[in-house]
Structure 1
Amino acid sequence: MPVPSDLSVKRDASSRRRYRFGPWLALARLLSILTVALALAYWLWQPATLRIAVGPAGSDDQTLVLAIAKAFDAKGGAVRLVPVEADGTLQSLNLLGAGKADLAVVRGDLAMPPDTNSVAILRRNFVVLWAPSGRKGAPRSKVTEIAALNGHRIGIVGLGDANLNLLRVILAESGVNPQKVTTTQFGTDRIAEMTQDSTLDAFMMVGAIDDKVIAETIAATARLRGEPKFLSVDVSEAIAERHPLYESEEIPAGAFAATPQRPDDKIETIAVNHLIVAPSSLSDDTVAAFTRELFAVRPSLAKDLPGASHIQKPDTDKDAALPAHPGAAAYIDGNERSFMDKYSDYIWGVVLLLSGLGSVAAWLRHYLRREERSLNALHRDRLLTAISSVREATSLDDLASMQSAADDILRETLACHEDGAIEDGDLAAFGLVLAQFHQAIVDRRAVIARTDDTGAPVKSGGAALQPVAISTAAR
């Protein structure tokens, strides 16, 4: 008896497709996870690049910023700095307002673009006012205090309106009509011309307390027109009260020369901060990282650039004239967000994304293996139908052939389960059918064996069992 067609397992690839996508899908899933993880890590740890407007070319500000940028690169931290050259602080502000720079080095008393915050104080600029006392044998200068400037001429170092406006504030608060004081402005490249101008009765410069240019200018006027008389801003506290961008400060004795000591005693004056500013829209985390890096490299920079020692933290009070950027304030006050505070939303987003990718992969695997599931269900049905054929088998060879075919089906089913094409429930159902098939094989073998012992032929159909039963009873 030939093997029943119900149990035949076709070997051609077109009818028995085996989609062994398990390893490939696992690899694809792993690659997807790695890709997302690497992309996230690259985004999280990629250094932020900030453009900083500073100028003019060759100035102390530009020199310091270039050194800071180089130190950031050498440190390999979270921030990279790209200097953008400007003609001066006013253009730096314009670049910041136009979005062509992320940071700018400016004076704190300039008109800032809306929502501009301070990030760090590069230095504190002091107002230095002095009048030459006159050469020996020449009439002594009558300018001994700010109140005596009425009707006189003052030379101001620095172009633009910043120093001029500051002088007007000082004059007005000191009881001097600014309109009755003549001013002449000189660029830093014309200081020698200013010191030689005998028509000037006083001079004004604004800069750091240890600025060599200020000390050299004072020394030049002393050589040409006699020892300077430093003019004290006695109303500095009142000015600071009415104009919050200015501060009351003192110039210590001997700040500009030790021999002879200039000044010979401390001088009350006004100070204005030179700042690094940023728009409030700049990321808090980025500004915090920049501030952290800046104060980390400051000690090493100060060894080669004394000006770096003037870098200070900005005022973090909420009522400050120029508020500190929230990112800088968070670093200074120790309120920086932790890693989880910063990136928990992204982490959960990645978890959800990976979960979605897993669901898509599962659906894809289920879809691609639909033919295997259908083929397995067909095999199970064939095996169930073949049980009746087993009961009609007439020889052990037929049973062996059917058993061999069933073994092929079993191998096919186990391979499908291993690949994940069928679930445990499907395998359990197949196992029940297979158990019934095996039991039918065992029973039929017993019947055939007894029939062979009696010598009676086994016929097809249910009648074939009757002689066997009778014969067995007779024995």
Structure 2
Amino acid sequence: MSTEGPTSSPTEPPPRRPKVIKTNQQQVLLYVVLTLLLSLATVWGGRAMLHNSETLTFAVGPPNSDEALFAAKLATLLKNNASRFRIKIVNNADNAKALAQFDRKQADLAVLRTDTKVPLRARTLAILEHDLVLLLGPGNKKIKSLAELKKKKVAVVAENESSLAFVRSILDIPDGPDAAKIQMAPQGATLDKLFAPASGFGAVIAIVHASRAVRDKAYEQVARRGGFTLNAIDEAKALARRIPGISSETLTAGTLSASPEIPDDDLDTIGLEWLLVAQSRMSAGTAGELARVVYENKSALGLDNGFASRIEPASVEKDAYVMAHQGAADYINDDTKSFMDKYSDLMYLGAAALSVIGSIFAAIYAKITRIAPEKAGELSTAVLDVGERIEHAHSLDQLECLQDELEGILRGAVIGLRDGTISTDGLDTFKLGYEFVRDEIGMRRDYLKRHCGEADKIAQDTAPPQQDESKIVVVKTAQSA
């Protein structure tokens, strides 16, 4: 009689759980990639918004005026260079009305000469041109001082009537009979006609663009005929200090004529500046970028008549007649910007986007999509299930199967704790359950071994005695005999 009973097939191992770590790593990798892509998209979108087309209104005088022609060139340059800026040109009857429009905040840009009333919110982007004041006398007659002009009839050669008021201011001639001696020269009048005895003019004050004066051959032609004398303005420095907007200028030898050389030596005079101005409320970035375009394209912005052919950076001095715009000043003071300076805004935007988007995906992963590791305490159920089946094991083979299953659970727990698929929550409970079931299996094994031994002994005692066939044969033989 066998006490081991029927052997059962080994218990099927539990199905393998999904690889939590691999799945979570794939999710983390996916979220990292999405975070980077969305951050790049945010930076690209932010840059597109920052560099979105911006239209700037440019208030100028008549279409044929120098400032209007300059504005048209600037607009064409920006368009051809695919700049984000667009220039809308608004013409006015004269430059004074253009500045009034600028003063009413109806324009972003304007051009002014420093003898005009400067709008309160005007800030300089660039110096476009210098005007020179030329004091001319007829023939070889020298004019020693400006005070002499108060006794003479003076013709003012200039492009607009505002120059007449400027000449009267530097001559310190108030409105009245004496002011009538200072007159605008007739349109198109030459120096020969102005110095003719019939004209009655004892002097001519010409206010001309410096770039145009160098190119104008009319001065050389008249000088060859001995038609005029260029006089110094010895009061130049004093006038520059007394009247805001006036600058002290020096004419180098041969500026107006190379043969004969006029002047024959460096000569002091006064001048005015033409400024490209912007509203003070214009952003520093916009002003700096616009100033950069103007400075780097000076040759392309100069007019055929010479205006704006020698563009200069705005004066960043605190005592400048018109303060430089902060954006232009920043560019002038630091012409070569570092990588961080150029792209700091985009880097800050990228860092902010990376932080926000990364936080959102981290929250989604932690709260929603992450596959949480199984708690060690939950494995106690499987351990106790093995324990419940111990009493039904009637053979050592069946018990060995339960032992293998228990060891498989332990092995899986150890591997899971190592790779993170099982957390340490409830680990003490699992250990307690495992030890309890292990001990139960040991006790059951001892029980089965002990009872198997007793069963074998009982079977031997109760078995019928076996007859010795050899003795039977002997007996039969004796009887036969």
Equivalent pair of 1:250/1:267 in contact (CA under 8 Å): yes
CA distance in 2, matches of 1:238, 1:178: 23
Structure 2: stretches of 5+ with no match in the other structure:
1-7, 458-481
Structure-to-structure mapping, 1:189-268, within 5 angstroms: 190-191=187-188, 201=201, 203-211=204-212, 215=216, 227-230=227-230, 232-252=232-252, 254-258=254-258, 268=268
SS in 1 for 2:327: helix
Equivalent pair of 1:124/1:274 in contact (CA under 8 Å): yes
CA distance in 2, matches of 1:106, 1:412: 85
Percent identical among aligned pairs is 21
For residue 15 of structure 1, what is the aligned residue in structure 2? Answer: none
Q: Please state how far the C-alpha of 1:238 moved relative to its aligned partner.
A: 1.4
Q: Please state how far the C-alpha of 1:290 moved relative to its aligned partner.
A: 3.8
Q: Please state how far the C-alpha of 1:283 moved relative to its aligned partner.
A: 3.5
Q: Are residues 1:118 and 2:116 paired?
A: no
CA distance in 2, matches of 1:417, 1:65: 74
For residue 423 of structure 2, what is the aligned residue in structure 1? Answer: 426
For residue 171 of structure 1, what is the aligned residue in structure 2? Answer: 171
For residue 87 of structure 2, what is the aligned residue in structure 1? Answer: 83
1:121 alignment partner AA: I
Equivalent pair of 2:154/2:205 in contact (CA under 8 Å): no
CA distance in 2, matches of 1:435, 1:51: 80
For residue 382 of structure 1, what is the aligned residue in structure 2? Answer: 381
Distance 1:149 1:304, change over 3 A: closer
Equivalent pair of 2:59/2:102 in contact (CA under 8 Å): no
Q: Please state how far the C-alpha of 1:63 moved relative to its aligned partner.
A: 4.3
CA distance in 1, matches of 2:276, 2:24: 58
For residue 476 of structure 2, what is the aligned residue in structure 1? Answer: none
Q: Are residues 1:364 and 2:364 paired?
A: yes
Distance 1:32 1:348, change over 3 A: same
Equivalent pair of 1:127/1:204 in contact (CA under 8 Å): yes
For residue 316 of structure 1, what is the aligned residue in structure 2? Answer: 316
Distance 1:86 1:251, change over 3 A: farther
Structure-to-structure mapping, 1:23-34, within 5 angstroms: 23=26, 26-34=29-37
CA distance in 1, matches of 2:118, 2:56: 18
Equivalent pair of 2:130/2:272 in contact (CA under 8 Å): yes
Q: Please state how far the C-alpha of 1:439 moved relative to its aligned partner.
A: 10
Deviation readout 1:200-249 (Å, 9 max, x if unpaired): 735544232231699477689999x9934546433222110112310122
2:56 aligned residue (26, 51, 54)? 51
Q: Please state how far the C-alpha of 1:59 moved relative to its aligned partner.
A: 3.9
SS in 1 for 2:367: helix
TM-score normalised by L of structure 2 = 0.65
Q: Please state how far the C-alpha of 1:120 moved relative to its aligned partner.
A: 1.9
Deviation readout 1:310-350 (Å, 9 max, x if unpaired): 21233322222323333333333348764446766874665
SS in 2 for 1:120: strand
Equivalent pair of 1:156/1:186 in contact (CA under 8 Å): yes
SS in 2 for 1:272: strand
TM-score normalised by L of structure 1 = 0.66
CA distance in 1, matches of 2:340, 2:41: 18
For residue 274 of structure 1, what is the aligned residue in structure 2? Answer: 274
Equivalent pair of 2:378/2:426 in contact (CA under 8 Å): no
2:133 alignment partner AA: V
Structure 1: stretches of 5+ with no match in the other structure:
12-18, 134-139, 451-464
CA distance in 2, matches of 1:228, 1:343: 58
CA distance in 1, matches of 2:308, 2:432: 87
For these two proteins, the number of residue pairs brought into alignment is 432
1:210 alignment partner AA: S
Q: Please state how far the C-alpha of 1:155 moved relative to its aligned partner.
A: 4.5
CA distance in 2, matches of 1:411, 1:82: 70
SS in 1 for 2:37: helix
For residue 111 of structure 2, what is the aligned residue in structure 1? Answer: 105
SS in 2 for 1:237: helix
Equivalent pair of 1:123/1:311 in contact (CA under 8 Å): yes
Equivalent pair of 1:92/1:106 in contact (CA under 8 Å): no
Q: Please state how far the C-alpha of 1:36 moved relative to its aligned partner.
A: 2.5
Equivalent pair of 2:156/2:164 in contact (CA under 8 Å): no
Equivalent pair of 1:413/1:427 in contact (CA under 8 Å): no
Q: Are residues 1:469 and 2:467 paired?
A: no
SS in 1 for 2:188: helix
